[in-house]
Amino acid sequence: MRNSLNFLSTRNGFNIALRHFKLVNSLIKSFEKKENLADLINNALENKQLEQFQFASILNALLVDKYKYFAKSFNIKKTYQGELKKLAKEFSEWNKFDIVFCYKHPQLGEILINPKKESSWESFDMLKENELLVVYIGYFNNVFDIELAKKAFTAIKSIINGEKAPNTKIFKEEPETNIQIPQKVEEKVTSVQKKKEEQPVVKKEQIQTTVVNKPVTTTTTPVKKKLSPQYGILVSNELFHNGNVEAWKRIITSYENKYPDTKVLVFYEGEQIHDINTLFKWGKVKHGTNIYISLLGPEFRDVSKLRRYLSQGASPRFEDFLRGDPTKMLQLF
């Protein structure tokens, strides 16, 4: 235990830990008011109160250790073919449980999903084959049926894998009807209404003074990033060699400089390429091969222009992007 606390021996490490503990305590207060933990963590991430590497420790400390949620993972059998946000309609009716998904996205890293909320599905485009999905099922700080939670997990696994799910009605509570108010409650309601009627009328001048003196607060909505579809760029040069690579690097740098909130991701043969120099060596990517790109950002701008430039960069006309001072950035967008 002594060695595992070494990071607390520095001011920076201690402050990082302190901020983490304070944040978790604030999450607990909202969580026990029945707010989904995925929503709370995502909001904190967008407001730069935490980083993605903190997800796992918070989920385990709160959902597993403190609130005893049922937690289990599985690898997705095949890429989900339906529209993701439509899953929210199904899961939103499972009112016997609170549910959190943690999806290990191949490009975006860990994504926390409130499966009952449509907007929670909008930051990415697919649930991909073989990727890991961790499911947490419970009911905030209330007791829940653990055996029923296990059945819910089995149903979730079937739905995500595109298989026929077992009966999901057992996860839904029927709405109560014909509720009669006891006589004592009716008397209490009546007395409250009478007290309201007896309250003095506030003058118009008083209302205006209150409004004028009240400080004005403004809130900003955090910007969510999403992943675009993949766009194919055909290699029309005889070989995609170092000249094509340098042209692409200059084009992508120009785009990301114009739109710093958006990243250009490159894919080849189904895998993301983090350093194009390691893949695009002489003779490896040939004429007629498709290279794919995808955009990660709040919106997708100048996509057609980017694709046009990259197509030219993958053609014999790549030299157009290599002219001029190599230390200066191209102003293409």
Summarised one tens digit per residue, pLDDT across range 237-289 is: 988 888 999 999 999 999 999 999 999 999 888 788 888 887 676 557 888 88
Can you give the pLDDT at residue 288? 87
Are 147 and 63 spatial neighbours (Cβ–Cβ below 8 Å)? no
- Answer yes or no: is pLDDT of 93 > 90: yes
pLDDT tens digit string along 165-207? 888 999 998 655 444 445 554 455 455 555 555 555 554 444 4
Query: Between these two residues, 134 and 208, which has the higher pLDDT value?
Result: 134
What band does 142 get if pLDDT is binned at 50, 70 and 90? very high
Can you give the pLDDT at residue 190? 53
Query: Between these two residues, 1 and 330, which has the higher pLDDT value?
Result: 330
* Sheet containing 98-105: order of strands: 70-75, 132-138, 98-105, 109-113
Cα 309–311–313 angle (5° rounding)? 70
164 vs 158: CA distance, rounded Å: 6
What domains does the chain contain, in order, with CATH numbers?
9-171 (no CATH), 226-321 (3.30.1340)
- Answer yes or no: is pLDDT of 218 > 50: no
What's the mean pLDDT when you consider all of the chain?
Answer: 84
Query: Between these two residues, 2 and 121, which has the higher pLDDT value?
Result: 121
Backbone angles phi, psi at 96, to 5 degrees: -85, -10
- The region that residue 276 occupies, defined by phi over 0 for left and psi between -120 and 50 for alpha, beta otherwise, is alpha
Helices 303-313, 242-258: inter-axial angle, 10-degree rounding: 160
SS3 71: strand
> Considering only CA atoms, which of 238, 235, 258 is closest in space to residue 248?
235
